[in-house]
Amino acid sequence: MDRRISKLLIANRGEIARRVMRTCSEMGIATVAVCSDPDRDEPFVREADEVVLLGGARPAESYLRMDAILDAARKTGSDAVHPGYGFLAENAEFARQCADAEITFIGPSADVIAAMGSKIEAKLLMQQAGVPVLSTIDVSDQSIDAIKKQLVNVKWPLLVKASAGGGGRGMRIVRDDSELEQALDTARQEAESAFGDGTLFIEPYIESSRHIEVQIFGDTHGNVIHLFERECSIQRRHQKIIEESPSPAVDEELRQRLCDAAIKAGEQICYVNAGTVEFLLTESGQFYFLEVNTRLQVEHPVTECVTGLDLVRLQILIAQGQPLPDEARHASLTGHAIEARLYAEDPANDYLPAAGRLHRCRFPVDRSLRVDTGVDEACDVSPFYDPMLAKVIVHAPTRSEAAARLAGGLATTQIHGLQTNRELLVRALRHPEFIAGETDTHFLERHDVTELAAPMGDASVEKLHAVAAALASQAERRAKADSLASIPTGWRNNPSQFQQVQFTSPSGEIDVQYRLARSGLSLLIDGVEQADSQLIDGTANEVSLLLDGVQRTYLVHRVGQTFYVDSSRGCTALKEQPRFPEIDADAVAGSLTAPLPGVVSEVLASEGDSVKAGDVLVVIESMKVLHQITAPTPGRVSQLAVQPGETIAAGEVLAVIDEE
């Protein structure tokens, strides 16, 4: 039966909400956004035809509230709901309630979601279909001693995994039984926070494997098809950061076997709408079923690029009762596509999420780049949700060309104000292992993440960027001058003393002295004269310099006393030092401060407690991840400044320990 959709509510936020809206606009379907309090000014809210405020900040107070979302659909007369990914996308009860309310759910049936939502049950169903699976130990409602007894003859390492949801949350590698109890507790808490379901299971952890997945679609007319494979092996915390299609490890024979297995999986459960069948691929070419994601995947754009299909449009057509169109049933692969997920996080600091003010996120104007993002050029990144800023995708005739274009596009993106994983992505895409197609899920463990995530420019580049910042600052002052505004920046008619500016860069202090006169630019960097230097042009935002026979253009963005300078050699954040430094009051000795903004999940100590180094005192939830704050030294807790449920800022004092 054809069920025409005229208005669609998107039960999600950010990038995926905007992505769904884009297709709806092309199909003539009105859109409704729902939003939490922190999201009221986000782009997806402004772009929707109608908006319903959910209130609250944390997911449990907003995007996980089924009653509020269904009420929003009724209020607005929405005849369909698209769940996106995450939040309620794989919640069988939500799909069931949509059906009960006669609202079309863009996805498979509640029964299929429930069956695949239990990854234990899913594996049993796949075994029946003849799809290879890994052995599984269900740890639900079992004591730690009972669990350990089942692991006596099991080969380590093991993987503790959440039965619900995905995205690497609620997942921990365990290498011996001494780590097991803590891994189970943390994974359970994380799964409950992210998905509202703390059910866990354990399976073998296969070293040196690849993560391969197959996109499937089923319609209500009994058709189940595949749209080829994607490789998602480069991961951090079991969450994908680089995805591509097709996989460099898959030849035609293996592709056929993988896709046949994926179709068997879909047919076994009478699958309808978009789904992804995920596999682990070993070095020997054997593959094992992992799970079926009963939703659209974050990495769906690479499949769209190589097939030329709009997967959201296919979802809507199927939800309307239409059969899969011929172009989907007879799809073919063209070229190669690679996607990189740009996150606000610090890879060198255990991928600590970054939240706060993003002063600029400006991507290069390049037709070969597709950018799917939920943020404006400048915005506040909330601590309550996933820290992904954008997905950047390139489609090219060859894999090597796609990798080169994507690395170049990321390298020239201006990102100011927050630490990101941009440098890590660029170096991964340019790494010999990646170029050779030899990566696996341990890529980021084999290589020093500190080196991969280091600033693109070295100390010599920082010095050149400091010169550009100094000249841009002078140009800004010149532009604001009331008289003689047409005179070049820093220019002097007669010989005069050098102008001096000092900056703090990631590598240390930089001293810049310059003088502009009729004879040209005189320049000293850290007291060393630069013999061959010439200012070609200079404004507050752009400086063109000839140094040592090479001319380069530097883009300068000033925020307060910080200068962000971008060039072909990287980006540097430089803080201008005041001529008369202020003296800051010392922090209270023994203070433990929050490394990032978030919400206090647990307080595990009391004032007066004696603690050992490494004892967990406070647990902070930020961007769906739990962060443990531990005692750095033995001592006594003399002050606890926070309570569970309290929202905290980065740098806020959590506790004070008097050292013993």
Which residues participate in catalysis according to the annotation?
295
Q: In this structure, are residues 94 and 100 in contact, taking their beta carbons and an 8 Å threshold?
A: no
* 8-state DSSP, 359: -
Q: CA torsion 427→208→279→374, rounded to 10°?
A: -20
Let me know if 66 is exposed, middle or buried by CB neighbors in 10 A (0-12, 13-18, 19+).
middle
Let me know if 547 is exposed, middle or buried by CB neighbors in 10 A (0-12, 13-18, 19+).
buried
Which residues on adjacent β-strands are paired with residue 620? 600, 627
Which of 375, 410, 372 shows the shortest CA–CA distance to 391?
372
Q: Can you tell me which residue has the tokens 């709408």?
A: 273
The count of other CB atoms within 10 Å of the CB of residue 529 is 10
State the Cα–Cα distance between residues 94 and 100, nearest whole angstrom: 10
The count of other CB atoms within 10 Å of the CB of residue 341 is 24
Q: Tell me the two tokens of residue 653.
A: 């004092």
Let me know if 145 is exposed, middle or buried by CB neighbors in 10 A (0-12, 13-18, 19+).
exposed
> At 334, phi and psi to the nearest 5?
-135, 120
DSSP secondary structure letters along 122-163: HHHHHHHTT--B---EE-TT--HHHHHHHTTTPPSPEEEEES
State the Cα–Cα distance between residues 570 and 426, nearest whole angstrom: 11
For 407, the 3-state DSSP assignment is helix
* 8-state DSSP, 629: E
89 Cβ contact partners less than 8 Å away, ≥ 6 residues apart? 12, 83, 107, 294, 295, 296
DSSP secondary structure letters along 220-274: TTS-EEEEEEEEEEEEETTEEEEEEES-TT--HHHHHHHHHHHHHHHHHTT--EE
606 Cβ contact partners less than 8 Å away, ≥ 6 residues apart? 637, 640
- For CA atoms 161, 165, 169, 170, give the dihedral sign: negative
Which residues on adjacent β-strands are paired with residue 289? 133, 279
Q: In this structure, are residues 187 and 171 in contact, taking their beta carbons and an 8 Å threshold?
A: yes
Angular region, 520: left φ>0, alpha ψ -120 to 50, beta rest: left
For 68, the 3-state DSSP assignment is helix
3 Cβ contact partners less than 8 Å away, ≥ 6 residues apart? 79, 104, 319, 320, 321
- Helix (H) or strand (E) holding 521, with range, is strand 520-525
